[in-house]
């Protein structure tokens, strides 16, 4: 996607969100014009995101079972575990979400963890940055990123859901 669009990300979001999520969702909605209810995995700490979704997609109904039940994601993971559901491996590896490997929205800690866990992904994205002349992280190219910078445990990196689209809504 990056090579085709010649874009890594913008202040309005990443091109992958537009192509792989927004267009697909809108096509599905056109093909199934009946009323839709979207169920979201936002936890009790993400009430602001839920409110933004409801405003941006006001033509649809929305359910937020984690918020409604006052659950954080870790509790939801525990419930899923007790039910015998296996969560995506990236969570077990210490990542805070299950975005695409090498997500262009990651911070310094995320990218340094990718560098350690998936060096080929890190190298590919660093090469793409140089070819395009734009970095994933504001102000630093990956191949210049100090390996000790950032902390994946304190960085905020939203799960890549339909919420990614909200920044590009109407653009």
What is the number of domains present in the chain?
1
Residue 62 bridge partners (DSSP): 38
Domain membership of residue 74 (yes or no) is yes
Range of the domain at 16: 11-88+161-171
Predicted pLDDT at 12: 73
What is the full DSSP assignment across 81-132? HHTTPPPPHHHHTT-SS-PPTT-TT--HHHHHHHHHH-HHHHHHHHHHHHHH
Of 14-23, 25-34, 157-166, the least confident: 157-166
Residue 106 lies in a domain: no
Q: Phi and psi at residue 37, in whole multiples of 5°?
A: -120, 125
29 within some domain = yes
pLDDT digit string, tens, across residues 123-167: 999 999 999 998 988 889 999 999 998 877 777 665 555 444 443
Is residue 143 within 8 A of residue 47, CB to CB? The reply is no
In a domain, 3, yes or no: no
User: What's the predicted TM-score (pTM) here?
Assistant: 0.75
In a domain, 81, yes or no: yes
pLDDT tens across 79-98, in order?
999 999 998 999 999 998 88
- On whether residue 48 sits in a domain, the answer given is yes
Q: Report how far residue 2's alpha carbon sits from residue 132's, in angstroms, rounded to the nearest whole number.
A: 9
Q: Is 113 contained in some domain?
A: no
Number of Cβ within 10 Å of residue 86's Cβ equals: 8
In-domain check, residue 41: yes
């Amino acid at each position: 996607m990056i090579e085709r669009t010649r874009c890594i990300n913008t202040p309005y979001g990443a091109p992958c969100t537009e192509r792989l999520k927004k267009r697909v969702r809108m096509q599905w909605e056109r093909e199934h014009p009946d009323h839709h209810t979207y169920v979201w995995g936002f936890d009790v700490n993400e009430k602001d995101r839920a409110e933004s979704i409801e405003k941006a997609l006001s033509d649809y109904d929305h359910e937020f079972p984690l918020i409604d039940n006052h659950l954080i994601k870790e509790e939801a993971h525990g419930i899923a575990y007790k039910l015998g559901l296996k969560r995506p491996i990236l969570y077990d590896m210490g990542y805070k979400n299950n975005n695409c490997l090498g997500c262009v929205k990651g911070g310094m800690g995320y990218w340094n963890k990718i560098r350690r866990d998936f060096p080929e992904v890190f190298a590919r994205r660093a090469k793409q940055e140089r070819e395009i002349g734009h970095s994933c992280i504001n102000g630093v190219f990956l191949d210049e990123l100090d390996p000790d910078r950032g902390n994946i445990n304190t960085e905020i990196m939203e799960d890549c859901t339909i919420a990614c689209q909200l920044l590009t809504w109407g653009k």
